Structure formats: C-alpha cells, structure tokens
A and B are shown apart, each in its own frame.
Chain A
Amino acid sequence: MDKTVNQKAWFLVLPVFLVVAFSAVLPLMTVVNYSMQDTFGNNQFFWNGVGWFKELLDPSTDLGGRFLASLGRNLFFSLVILAIEVPLGIVVALSMPREGWTVAACLVILALPLLIPWNVVGTIWQIFGRPDIGLLGYVLNAMGFDYNYVSNDVDAWFTVIVMDVWHWTSLVALLCYAGLKSIPEAYYQAAQIDGASRWAVFKAIQLPKMNRVLLIAVLLRFMDSFMIYTEPFVVTGGGPGNSTTFVSIELVKIALGQFDLGKAAALSLVYNLIILIVCWIFYTVMTNAGVERKVQASSEPAAEPKPAAALKPVPALEPREGVA
C-alpha cells in the first residue's frame, strides 16, 4: 500500500485546532490559572498555590463544608432518582404495546417530557406545586397535607425528585423498550414451551437481554442528575436554607454570587474530575462487558466434546441475530 505523504494536510486540521483551542483549551487553562490564585476584584490576583484545593477537601473550612455537604446531597439525589427511575422505566417499557398504532402514540407521549427545556420544566413544577395557585400544592393541602416546598425541606426534596422522575423516566423507558424490541420472538416462544411464568420470562430473558441498555440508562441518568442545575434552581433556588443546594448551584453561588473566582475554579475542577472518573468507570465496565462476551463466544476450544469440531471457527451466529 502506497500512502501519500503530504505534510500540508496538517493545515486542514488547523481550523478545528483553533476552534477547540479557543472554546475548550484556553478557558480550561484560565480556570486552572484562577484555581491557584485569589482575587479581590479590580483584576488584582494573588498567588495561592494549592490552598483552595486543601480548603475544598477540608470539611472544617467554610468552602470545604459547603462543597462536601452539597456533594453529599447531590449523590443522595442521584441515588434516589436512579432507584425510582430505573425500575419504573423497566415497568413502563414492559407494559408498552409491541405493535399497532398504540406504539406510536405511546412513544410520542413518552417523548414529550424529554422535549421540554429544563427551565420550562422547572417553571411548570414551581407553579404546579404552589399551595395557593398550583394544582398539586392546592390539592395536597386540601387533602390535609401540610405541603409547602418553599418552607419545608422534605417537601422541597419531594418536589425536586418527583419533577426529575416526571422529566426523565421516559428516557429509561425508551431505552429499555428498544432493548426489549431486539429480543427475537423465538425466546418468548421457547419460554412458553418451557412453561415459564411471566416473572421467570422477565428474569431469564428480558432482564439479561436489557442489561446493556440499562447500563447506558444508568450512566446517562447518573451523569445528568449529578450535574443537575436548572430545574432545582428554578423551583427551590437551592432552599429552603441550603437543603436542595446541589454542587452546581453551590458553584454558581461562589463564582457569580460572591465572585470568588479562585474558590469556584478549584471547585469546578474537582467537580469535573469526579464526573470524568465516573464516566471512565462506566465506559470501562461497558466495553469490558462487550469484549468479554465476544471472547467467550469465539475462543472456547474446550466447549466441544469432539476435538475435530472444536478446531473449526464458530459460525458467527449469535442467537439474537436472525431468527426465521
């Protein structure tokens, strides 16, 4: 193979390089720069080394206390919404029709919340939950519940979680539905023949075949809920007190409220790092699961009792591919 050598081709990469430099590399380096300094406005900066990072990880300081508290709230929030949205999404996907015009209707209805901009979702729920004019808030209070998300921590959490479930369960459901649709009919027929109950079908066929899409759903929902800002900000503004102040809200308060650029820069770098690490873990788990499966399918010489047959390459026939 003759490969044409033409160093001028590098010029074609130049525009992208410039765009990325200005849009990502330079701002990021600015943030790194800020995180090492302190400022009192007037564009005056003082060198602070790793001071902010030390403070950030020390719960006894103001910055560290706020960061770790909001991080804890954020993790708890992610955990709760995952625990609700994943099982709920699976149930919704399982109860969706498999054919006919109702499929299209269900898909459209499910997709609706996903299409609404974050701040609109926040506004909808902010009004929906108001005890004086909101349908939810008014009805709850009329039923005797003392519900007020502005003054009560639990009510605020309840509102924010229900809002996220309402907004994002569809995503999990749609992913699961796609996974379910890819299971060949033969599996269900075989399960019928084997006398499997509905629960056994779910456990033996549907759940194992869905595990890849579920992993993706968990990844997406975790990342998104970990970075959540707009919706709780619009509904509760992080309150009452600091009870629904998540990391991103805390970050904005420090950066734009107090104009503590150094502290905010350090916080955002650590925040970014956490997200990168979680991403990397998920990515590794997912690709490993795929690789493992392939290796297991193709290199199993001991699997055949007859040595002659064992040496032959396995026909590329995964069961899910093509069923007559």
Chain B
Amino acid sequence: MARIDLVDLAHSYGGNDAPQESFALKPVTMTWRQGGAYALLGPSGCGKTTLLNVISGIITPSRGKILFDGKDITPLSTQKRNIAQVFQFPVIYDTMTVGQNLAFPLKNRGVPKADIDRRVAEIGRLLDLEPYLNRKATRLTADAKQKISLGRGLVRNDVAAVLFDEPLTVIDPELKWQLRSKLKALHRELDLTMIYVTHDQTEALTFADTVVVMHDGRVVQSGTPAELFDKPAHTFVGYFIGSPGMNILPAEVRGREARIDGHVIALNRSYDNLPAGAKIEIGVRPEFVEVVAPAPGLLTARIERIDDLGRIRFARVRVVDAKLAARAPGGFTSADGTAGLKFDPSHVHVYADSLLVEGAA
C-alpha cells in the first residue's frame, strides 16, 4: 500500500520528440492517496489505459516520474513494482486449477505455502469461487474466468495499488452489478488502493470516491461524483457526466449577465475579467433548466420532443442553432410547440475556452 504520485508524467507512442499534441498521455501531475477508490473515466482512446499501463510498468513513460511513497520507481520493471492489474478480458492459466491460478502471483514471489493457502481460501470465499478451487480453470464460463482474474489481482495484500482495466466488459449486466458491489466491499475490507478504468459513468460514479475524468490525453477534472456533477471544471466533463449531459451554449457574458440571442440570463456571480478573445460559453445541467409556458423575458425555445424517463421528463428543445435538454414539469404541454426556458442562476456556469471560470461574489 502506498501513495502514488505522478510528476509531470507524459507518454507518446511516437517517441519523446513527437509533437505534444500527438501524445497519448499529456503531461499530468497528480496524487493518488493510499487506500482510495478511484475511477479513471473517459471515452475510448482518451489515454486511460495508457495511464494505467504506465503506472503498472507495462509501458515506460516518455517523460516524468512515478513515485510510490515518495520513492521513484519509474525505471523498475512491472515485476518489481508490486502492483496488481486486472485486464479487460479474462486471462487464465489453462493448465492450472482455479486455486493454482489464484496462488500464482504469490507462488512466483516465494510466499510460504501456509500463507498462500490462507490467502487463496480468503479470496475464494470473497469472490464465491470456493466450490471451484480444485477444478480446472479452462472449464469455467467467461464470468467465472474474469472472477479468477479479479481474484489474482486481489490476492496479494501488500500491493501498492490494484488497477482494473474495464474488468467487467465481458460480464452479464446483472452480474456486473453484483461484482461491482463486491469490489466496493472488497475495497473496504482489504484497504487497498484501487484504480478502476471505465468509459461507463454509472460504473465510475458507483465504484469510486474520487473520479478522474480524462479527455484527449489530459486529466480534465478529478473530484467526488457530486463535484463532477455540480461544478464540471471543463465543458467535456459536463457533457460526459450526467444523462443527458450538460447544456453548453455560446453566450456573451458581462458582469452578472449572460446574453443569448438578445435575451438576458441572470448569473449568481460576477464575471468581469474574462480573457479577451476566448470562446465564452455558459453551461447548465438539464436538471436546472425548466420549460414553462412562453412569457416575456424568457428565452424562447422550440420543442422537438419530450423524453419520459419515468421519474423525470426531459424536453429536447432548440434555441436558434443550439440544442438543449430541459426538465419538463409534470403536466407541462405546449400548444404551439414553443416554450420559455427558466434557468436556475445558481447552477449556471461560465466557461472560457472550455475551462470553468470562477466568478466574483
């Protein structure tokens, strides 16, 4: 167990001299605290797996350092790093039984037999693999195989961190929930640092205390699920987290007012020092925009359709060229297909060049 620090870490598959824009992982400095449950969230190709492989040592970074408890381990091989990783697809040693599979990482490190047996029995119990410990691993289903992979990741109790690379991809949806809750429980029980890579926001938000959002090789925000929801630091975070994602609208912002298509939307804070020449947008989550009957002073929108999600309804509307989603209160109907939009000023954020701007009180 250890604190993991990344210092100015970057990686390019094209070598260190490639232009920085082409880096798979752009320079990042951050700390993973010991015992935390982290999710690394982002779309495919955003550099999540690269970051994970750099931490585990499968990839040597082009630049920067990785520290485990302050000790530089960048040049060390995977074997010497004391880290566990679970891959997207199950990796099973065909000729071994389930128990031998689980024992493999311990056996390779020369752990005494009695300790191995105790540890394998414990992990077998935690993952419900007990009845199969003496059976050949090849004969099991994909679900069970992936559980063995998970077990091999968790079997060592002295690892600096356990890394999961989208480990539940091959699992049935129903079992996915169970396994995720199990992982969460294991995290509490075993007190391991866990880093969980996924492109599924539900998976990330339910598993982790801290979610790290990546976009285009950069870490754009790291925070609790609530922080990511309430105050996205980057328009991408707003758009990627939440369903539907945040509404992003180009606007002119001056002082405590945002102006869209001639209409004024009140803001809670004052934005006087916006960088000149930057692309200014406002962002507001659909939960904090309400469609009401058109009225003077309200931004007028054309309703395209209303999605009924059961406990909540979202109207898909269009303002000039921009598409928005907004909460439709129960009983709302529109006779002529137009509506007024009512914004909740405390939840309207201002972005300059996609980055959140903190206004003055």
Contact B170 A315 (CB under 8 A): yes
Contact A190 B149 (CB under 8 A): yes
Most buried by B among A194, A197, A293, A309: A194
In the complex where A303-B140, A317-B89 touch, is A209 in contact with B94 (Cβ < 8 A)?
yes
Give the shortest distance, in Å, between A43 (CB) and chain B (any CB).
Answer: 62
The number of chain B residues touching the other chain, given as a range, is 35 or more
Which partner residue on chain A sits nearest B127 by CB separation? A305
**Cβ contact of B93, chosen from A184, A205, A312, cutoff 8 A:** A205
Contact A319 B92 (CB under 8 A): yes
In the complex where A190-B91, A319-B90 touch, is A308 in contact with B174 (Cβ < 8 A)?
yes
Q: What per-residue 1/0 map shows which CB atoms of A172-212 lie under 8 Å from chain B?
A: 00000000000010110110111111001001110111000
CA distance A209 to B138 in the complex (A): 12
Q: What per-residue 1/0 map shows which CB atoms of B52-95 lie under 8 Å from chain A?
A: 01001110000000000000000001110001110111111111
Q: What per-residue 1/0 map shows which CB atoms of B158-169 lie under 8 Å from chain A?
A: 000000001000
Asked if A14 is at the interface (CB within 8 A of a chain B CB), the reply is: no
Residues from chain A with a CB closer than 8 A to the CB of B331 are none
Which partner residue on chain A sits nearest B139 by CB separation? A296
Residues from chain B with a CB closer than 8 A to the CB of A184 are 89
Q: What per-residue 1/0 map shows which CB atoms of A281-324 lie under 8 Å from chain B?
A: 00000000000010011001001111011101011010100111
CA distance A192 to B87 in the complex (A): 12
Give the shortest distance, in Å, between B128 (CB) and chain A (any CB).
Answer: 5
In the complex where A186-B87, A193-B105 touch, is A303 in contact with B132 (Cβ < 8 A)?
yes
Residues from chain A with a CB closer than 8 A to the CB of B53 are 189
**Which residues of chain B (92-137) have a CB below 8 Å from chain A?**
92-96, 104-105, 108-109, 128, 131-132
Which partner residue on chain A sits nearest B178 by CB separation? A306
Asked if B141 is at the interface (CB within 8 A of a chain A CB), the reply is: yes
Contact A296 B152 (CB under 8 A): no
Give the shortest distance, in Å, between A323 (CB) and chain B (any CB).
Answer: 5
CA distance A300 to B98 in the complex (A): 15
Residues from chain B with a CB closer than 8 A to the CB of A308 are 174
Which partner residue on chain A sits nearest B53 by CB separation? A189
Contact A192 B79 (CB under 8 A): yes
Q: What per-residue 1/0 map shows which CB atoms of B172-195 lie under 8 Å from chain A?
A: 101100100000000000000000
Contact A186 B89 (CB under 8 A): yes
CA distance A175 to B96 in the complex (A): 24
Residues from chain B with a CB closer than 8 A to the CB of A315 are 142, 170, 172
Contact B89 A296 (CB under 8 A): no
Residues from chain A with a CB closer than 8 A to the CB of B78 are 189, 192-193
Contact A189 B142 (CB under 8 A): no
Asked if B143 is at the interface (CB within 8 A of a chain A CB), the reply is: yes
Asked if B145 is at the interface (CB within 8 A of a chain A CB), the reply is: yes
Residues from chain A with a CB closer than 8 A to the CB of B170 are 315, 317
Give the shortest distance, in Å, between A142 (CB) and chain B (any CB).
Answer: 48
Contact B172 A323 (CB under 8 A): no
In the complex where A192-B77, A194-B104, A317-B170 touch, is A305 in contact with B131 (Cβ < 8 A)?
yes
Which partner residue on chain B sits nearest A301 by CB separation? B141
CA distance A200 to B110 in the complex (A): 13
Which partner residue on chain B sits nearest A310 by CB separation? B141
Which partner residue on chain A sits nearest B155 by CB separation? A194
Asked if B348 is at the interface (CB within 8 A of a chain A CB), the reply is: no
Give the shortest distance, in Å, between B163 (CB) and chain A (any CB).
Answer: 9
Write the residues of chain B forming the contact surface with A, with a CB cutoff of 8 angstroms.
49, 53, 56-58, 77-79, 83-85, 87-96, 104-105, 108-109, 128, 131-132, 138-145, 149, 152-153, 166, 170, 172, 174-175, 178
Given contacts A303-B132, A324-B89, 14 further A-B contacts (CB under 8 A): A184-B89, A190-B152, A192-B57, A193-B84, A194-B152, A195-B108, A209-B94, A296-B138, A309-B143, A317-B142, A323-B88, A323-B89, A324-B49, A324-B88
